[in-house]
Amino acid sequence: MPELLQQPSAFLVFLGLSALGFGVLLISLIFGELFDFLAHDTDFDHGGGPSFLSSRVLSVLVTAFGGLGAIGVNAGMSIAASSAMGFAGGVACAGVVYWFARFLYSQQATTMVTTADLVGHTARVIIGIPASGVGQVRCQSGEEIIDKVARSRSGDAITENSLVTIDQVLGEIVIVQPLKTTSEN
């Protein structure tokens, strides 16, 4: 057996840890979170987004620990000093990755409009609402145009092209009333 493998040096141990961490990082970048069950079952996940226990963050910590520890040993530092340097550098690198991932997560946006968002919006009747019946209204929320089945709050008929205010959402039906103009007040 080669003498190098019989008594592995601290340098080889640190390099091995660095290679292991880098391998896990590559696998998690290709296949996604490896330890998703661990990262989301903890209290470290504040309000969504990545956890500090994410496989990517932990693999960066192990990679930096091993790499910096190997550099320290190669520079003549003791194993304890190299380990301390590797741990401090690993935590710093993992912290940078963690905060960058949190920043990216916080920049996500959605264009999804919930029906509760429609209350108070002005809409146009596109299919007349008969007395005690249903019709259809169209409104715009942000950049999205939404058509909904509508019923008059008072039960009175509302003609096509009338402007209405959405008062309430009941499942897929919205309850509307004619838009009050300033002269009616």
Place of tokens 């002269």: 183
Neighbours of 2 (CB within 10 A): 5
| Tens digit of each residue's pLDDT, the chain (185 residues) | 455 455 578 899 999 999 999 998 888 878 776 655 544 444 444 556 677 788 888 999 999 999 999 999 999 999 999 999 999 999 999 999 999 988 888 777 665 666 667 888 899 999 999 998 999 999 887 778 888 999 999 989 999 999 999 998 888 889 999 987 655 54
Q: Which CATH code for domain 115-178?
A: 2.40.50.140
Domain ranges, ordered by start, for the chain: 3-106, 115-178
Query: How far apart are alpha carbons 20 and 66 in whole angstroms?
Result: 9
Task: Give this prediction's pTM.
Answer: 0.53
